[in-house]
Amino acid sequence: MQKVCIIVPCFNEEKRISIEYFKRFYQFPESACIDISFVNDGSTDKTLYVLRQLRDDCKGHVIVYDIPENLGKAEAIRKTVLKISTNEHYDFIGYFDADLSTPLEEVFLLQECFNRNKDCQVAFGSRVKRMGASIIRKPFRHYLGRIFATFASLLLNLPVYDTQCGAKLFTRELAYRTFTEEFISRWLFDIEIFARIKELYGVEKAKKIMFEVPLNNWKDRSDSKITFKDILNVPFEFLKIRKRYKT
């Protein structure tokens, strides 16, 4: 059975982490192959206490890493990927957002992509609103996201519909290679991931090993930690990435 480890970065998530949700998730037989690695990124509330309680309630499936100082989502995920990738027990390593905008059950959809496509080395969720799916997103954020995604696709020269969806799954080997170096962007590190894979393999092979998977369920959460200042900095972040990766 192929084993998966999903990283969930947490910063002051005390009130958003549902212990009951994760306990229900592990009632499904297929969840036996999924481990969750929570990383407490310097939280100042009781997040670490909640995570440790969750670890005790889901023995054998939940790992808790504590980073005393807040490093930001990108660096918290990167450090955890490098730690986990040394464990040959796992075939795949990925990450999901702590608010579970993407329900954890969608990991099976990403995992299935590897089974269907022998060339697949990374599968990532895409928030495509369509019949038969439940993609709930505020209109303003949707249209802003489409503008952002168009620029991201042009920057990367890759036909990516949704770079920023917080649900991605990699082979263990590719995860290690992609996350070895620190990211230069705090919020747009997802774009850097695509740029790094393109840099490692070239455009044509990158297109063959990356698979975009339309999600069945996704729900916009109102309490986003992205500020208006972060949005204003986006063009400068794009320029930094363009210069660093020569996209």
Instruction: Give tens-digit pLDDT for 194-243.
Output: 999 999 999 999 999 999 999 999 999 766 566 666 777 888 999 999 99
Question: Crossing angle, helix 189-201 and helix 139-156, to 10 degrees?
Answer: 30
pLDDT over 70 for what percent of the chain? 96
Predicted pLDDT at 235: 87
pTM reported for the whole predicted model:
0.94
- Report yes or no: 172 and 120 within 8 Å, Cβ to Cβ: no
Predicted pLDDT at 233: 83
Q: Which two tokens stand for residue 157?
A: 């020269």
Which residue range forms the structural domain that includes residue 154? 4-245
Predicted pLDDT at 43: 98
Instruction: Report the amino acid identity of residue 155.
Output: L
Residue the block writes with tokens 């009781």: 46
- Closest by CA to 92, choosing from 65, 44, 128, 124, is 124
Give CA separation, 96 vs 159, 168, 206, 218, 241, in Å.
22, 7, 22, 12, 23
Coil/strand/helix, residue 123: strand
Predicted pLDDT at 227: 65
Residue the block writes with tokens 């959460």: 221
Predicted pLDDT at 232: 77
Q: What is the pLDDT of residues 49-92, one digit of tens each?
A: 999 999 999 989 999 999 999 999 999 999 999 999 999 999 99
- Report yes or no: 37 and 70 within 8 Å, Cβ to Cβ: no
Phi, psi angle pair for 51, to nearest 5°: -65, -40
The strand ranges marked E within 68-166 are 92-96, 122-126, 134-136
For the chain, the domain total comes to: 1
What's the residue count for the chain? Answer: 247
Where are the alpha helices (H) located in 97-233, listed in sequence order? 107-116, 139-156, 172-179, 189-201, 203-209, 228-232
Predicted pLDDT at 140: 87
Predicted pLDDT at 156: 95
Q: What is the pLDDT of residues 98-130, one digit of tens each?
A: 999 999 999 999 999 999 999 999 999 999 999
- Report yes or no: 125 and 218 within 8 Å, Cβ to Cβ: yes
Residue the block writes with tokens 């499904």: 28
CATH number, domain of 163, equals: 3.90.550.10
Counting Cα atoms < 13 Å in the Cβ hemisphere of 3 gives 12
- Report yes or no: 173 and 124 within 8 Å, Cβ to Cβ: no
CA distance 117 to 143: 31
